[in-house]
Structure 1
Amino acid sequence: MTVLKTKYTLWAADWQRAVAFYRDLFNGIVTMESEVWSEVQVANGIIGIHGGGEGKRTWTGLSFQVEDLRSAIEELKAHGGALASEPHDTPEDPLHLAMCIDPDGNEFMMTQPRK
């Protein structure tokens, strides 16, 4: 078997908003766009966005590793996303993980490498 691509599919009540969110927040490249199916390439991964979602909060298992988590959180909020809860530093563990929510209710993680 030859695998050509690996895609991660999300459902969106507003597919155009979802495409714009992942394109703009993560500097993604839209490689396909329609009401039924859209694809946004982020780094080496592809996010498939399927229209017709219910907009309910849903854990996806999707994760993005970023260089600077604090600035990524600010960008998340500026693009219409939110945090599931505010992340914080602890004496044992510097800030490295944020649980995030896109405008359609899809939950994902943003992480920063631990130092």
Structure 2
Amino acid sequence: MARLAYVIKFVADMDRAVAFYRDTFDLAVKMQTPFWSELDTGETVLALHPASAANTAGSCQLGFNLDDLKGFYESGRVDFTAPPKEQHGTLLARMRDCEGAELSLSG
């Protein structure tokens, strides 16, 4: 089963973005660093990540948590842009949806 765990928003100014979402919507800040911040919206986390050439400021990416990411990868149902790899204590991978949008997967 897959669950929408994150909406990742790419931002030009992390401190300004955190303050905006915290103060405008009264969202609790779960964590804040220059490279990744999380705000509590209920079941889905609003994650903020610095923008880059590949992910411009204002763009978003969906992040799904899968019960069995490794099994999903091995099923060959989709093409991955990055295979599952242990990062920050979590198994992470990336794939594209049917319209070419990159999705972040964790498991």
Give the TM interval when normalised to the shorter protein: 0.3 to 0.5
TM-score, structure 1 normalization: 0.42
TM-score, structure 2 normalization: 0.45
